[in-house]
Structure 1
């Protein structure tokens, strides 16, 4: 698939200049985008570093004021940048960047996770890794300075999040640390020989691993000794903070009370649909639990070992791409390749990392298999492959990276809105069901199982953080974290350890988890509005063209998406 070549405009230049500043100030972003030249750096996580990022955003918004959009692409860029950078500044002014600490998406995890996507296939790559490891202590010092500055203003994460991060930091500081195994593993030996130059790199890696472990030990000590005594017990962040984060994750403003009520209705609707499918699996009157037991007992739906899991992921992904390409989507040639991986971490999560700007790093689907887990059920996860792969994240992100002839680097690589991205991935799951790829009752129950989780966390996340009324069957009164735990256990069909991680995630990352299901809702509303408009014009609605147009915009806020497609 080719896109019409477009002459870059002044607004594209403003956007591209912002990306250049961003990757200098936040080099981990450069690695995520696959932009070279910064893989040896980490950046300044201190208050001064956050101020510098905010200043770059302010100056970029000012630069946009002086330029007139040349075309519709420019108009979307201006809308998207004003929305994203404007929210970055709101969060900065509220001190949210300084207090950033939770169990899944904060510098505690980010400083370690970046190494998963770094190149390891050359001596230069390992030199970059060594340099970044040796820079990690300064980065941790800056992060501690930011947390302390926030604490001085009374802004401290809830004690639950502090304790989770203490445990994570101690693990990374310990004798079995990732940093130790990473710098001594077979990937090192495959590249570094016994020459003097390589021996020097090995020494720097060893020194860097030691420095990284010590830095995480220092972080754990600060969190436990200094921050924990100041941490509040309450998990709920309240309506004002929640509304800000909701806008950030959705790129749209929604009525939170109406969305909560819709979440309850959507959960009931999905459960009713599950019960219908359960009857197809286990007979008339069968419960969802009985259908799940029957599926789990089916040897044809069981995989043994991570090698079999990886092979099944790849086979399922490849088949989906082959089936959709040229029919429902025109998949760009580089996006035809998706690499399925077993992640080096063991959190239980499944996630996607996009291709690098030059495509030397392919798009990858990762499965972080928990320690001791050796058996997997395909009925649960077929829909997940569609979510992370095609037509989900891989098509969405890959198509944006591919659109070099149309979009500037900020639109292609730097802008990511959770509600747009995760909403599309859930939209893609339901689309695959509508296209017949989940007609098998077990696979369909798996899709509904995933949708039920996403609906339940709309209820949990908004209900707990805003202190809304809980339904009588879930305890009545006002939602609390304690009432939310049995609610999640009843609606999330996963191991209790995973549910506990998710429970802590929702409490510490307000507004992010609902962005999946609410994002799907807004995607579907946007599609339905486009269909209604076509009908009003007396035209047939071309859903393939709608999808192509929408995905070629890149990831933008959902209000911007709606404006661009209207």
Structure 2
């Protein structure tokens, strides 16, 4: 078990620029500061108006100008320079295309960010709750800036598809409702401990929290009215974003340029390959000639594989995660001591998503796995979800992100904390699922079918996402003609073995967040290509290939674009 770095690298001029960029980003985006665990900003909100966007863009330009005058002093600098130029340069492309102002979708836009930041905000002391109260009361200010940016984008013809607008109205209405709003329950539950202290300070904070909950609900009521009355009438019924926007989004999420048409064709082939593998496992479960549905019915009817209620789900997640950490550490990975802790929680939202939040800079906030459970879902099948725990936990996101945060002795703050590339991160997590099968942790046919179920969904997303947004022709077995939302729905229902509410949310997510969903499976493909290339290089040199060393080296780089990763690992 590794607990302390053995070598401390002297920071370079490039590191100084990177660290300053993180400090300035925290100042300009207090939500980001909270997410990264950088103290001092938890009471503030960002300026989400065009003025705020311009300020953050100016920081990006200034940082690129500073980097242009610097030469790397070692291999760490070389990766930092390449990664920052790729990420920040792409940020300028996105801004020039108007993407920063128009952000509105069902999962990853300021609408959700203004609520989600409270999940990771410190909540242990009176001062923490004072910060939360201040931030809640400032949400109307942030919301006003967000509405201004959406209006700015609309004036230029940049409006989200009407499907996204309508779903976001529903989300806003729920957050504005005094009865069902997250803010109502959050403040009520958070004030419980404060009630135990009847000091005048606690009384004031409780009142500010109550006032803040009203302010936050009112802010979402304003957003809902704007979306319904002003933006929806301007929204297009067309979900597809077209090739130009999609290509830019794909590069953003992958940190690599791929041939979209070849990737679509590969996605179809990969889906067929995974389905064939599923059918072989289904025969092990239900007998020769049995279908995947036959095997699923048997697994779902098995009481030993069924959990009842969210508390049972949370406890099982924690137990499964802890077992994986114990089994892998010192055998397949050397996990740093601060990364050994992973906390599993049920999310306060009920959208159906499963996600991970990294540890804070000092590890005082541990990495956390969150499960957002729809209200109608009360039973859970462990055969489906064991692979999800590996994806979100160890050796997936938690090992990946926790290892990066831990690399203080080598990496600057931007590399450790702030850089996140979906294709690198989600690709690694999906790679980790398959790796656990290869290492023998999914020998049970049911658990293996669950892993293949997840792989099948991710392969289907490659086909659906590229197919819909690029307006490609659908195979005859999926209706023929041009891909659209209706064909995508039937396609998903045939390939995703999840409750309908989850599948519906997933479809809306893909339609509104182009390029992100394929980054999982395409990222996995690029990770596997990098590993296979490293193996071939070692064997060509007459050396043995040490996959454990390959993983350690790759994870020590932090999250970078996949083209940068491939170059770094090829050295």
Same fold (TM over 0.5): yes
Match of 2:108 among 105, 109, 119: 105
Contact 2:103 2:150 in 1 (8 A): yes
Q: Which runs of 5+ in 2 are unaligned?
A: none
| Paired position in structure 1 for 2:146 | 143
| Paired position in structure 2 for 1:235 | 239
In 2, Cα distance between equivalents of 1:480 and 1:370: 26
Structure 1 length-normalised TM: 0.99
Are residue 465 (structure 1) and residue 486 (structure 2) matched? no
| Paired position in structure 2 for 1:551 | 555
Contact 2:352 2:505 in 1 (8 A): no
Match of 2:346 among 329, 334, 342: 342
Q: CA RMSD in A?
A: 0.7
SS in 2 for 1:79: helix
Match of 1:215 among 212, 219, 225: 219
Segments ≥4 residues shifted beyond 4 Å: none
| Paired position in structure 1 for 2:137 | 134
Shift of 1:203: 1.0
In 1, Cα distance between equivalents of 2:486 and 2:321: 39
Are residue 478 (structure 1) and residue 482 (structure 2) matched? yes
In 1, Cα distance between equivalents of 2:102 and 2:140: 19
Are residue 513 (structure 1) and residue 513 (structure 2) matched? no
Match of 1:194 among 191, 194, 198: 198
In 2, Cα distance between equivalents of 1:278 and 1:180: 46
Shift of 1:60: 0.3
Instruction: String of CA shifts for 1:207-228, please: whole Å, max 9, x gaps.
Output: 1111111110000000000000
Are residue 5 (structure 1) and residue 3 (structure 2) matched? no
Shift of 1:482: 1.6
In 2, Cα distance between equivalents of 1:279 and 1:306: 31
In 2, Cα distance between equivalents of 1:17 and 1:442: 49
In 2, Cα distance between equivalents of 1:131 and 1:416: 28
| Paired position in structure 2 for 1:88 | 91
Shift of 1:3: 4.4
In 1, Cα distance between equivalents of 2:341 and 2:221: 40
Contact 1:3 1:403 in 2 (8 A): no
Contact 1:15 1:408 in 2 (8 A): yes
In 2, Cα distance between equivalents of 1:305 and 1:182: 21
Shift of 1:374: 2.1
Q: Which runs of 5+ in 1 are unaligned?
A: none
Match of 2:430 among 423, 426, 429: 426
Contact 1:3 1:406 in 2 (8 A): no
SS in 2 for 1:404: helix
Shift of 1:191: 4.0
Shift of 1:373: 2.3
Shift of 1:485: 1.0
Distance 1:191 1:361, change over 3 A: farther
Q: Please show how residues 384-395 of structure 1 align to structure 2 within 5 Å.
A: 384-395=388-399
Aligned length: 565
| Paired position in structure 1 for 2:156 | 153
In 1, Cα distance between equivalents of 2:295 and 2:387: 17
Q: Please show how residues 8-47 of structure 1 align to structure 2 within 5 Å.
A: 8-47=11-50
In 1, Cα distance between equivalents of 2:210 and 2:175: 15
Contact 1:122 1:191 in 2 (8 A): no
Contact 1:183 1:205 in 2 (8 A): yes
Are residue 366 (structure 1) and residue 352 (structure 2) matched? no
In 1, Cα distance between equivalents of 2:448 and 2:16: 46
| Paired position in structure 1 for 2:267 | 263
In 2, Cα distance between equivalents of 1:305 and 1:484: 31
Q: Please show how residues 444-455 of structure 1 align to structure 2 within 5 Å.
A: 444-455=448-459
Are residue 533 (structure 1) and residue 546 (structure 2) matched? no
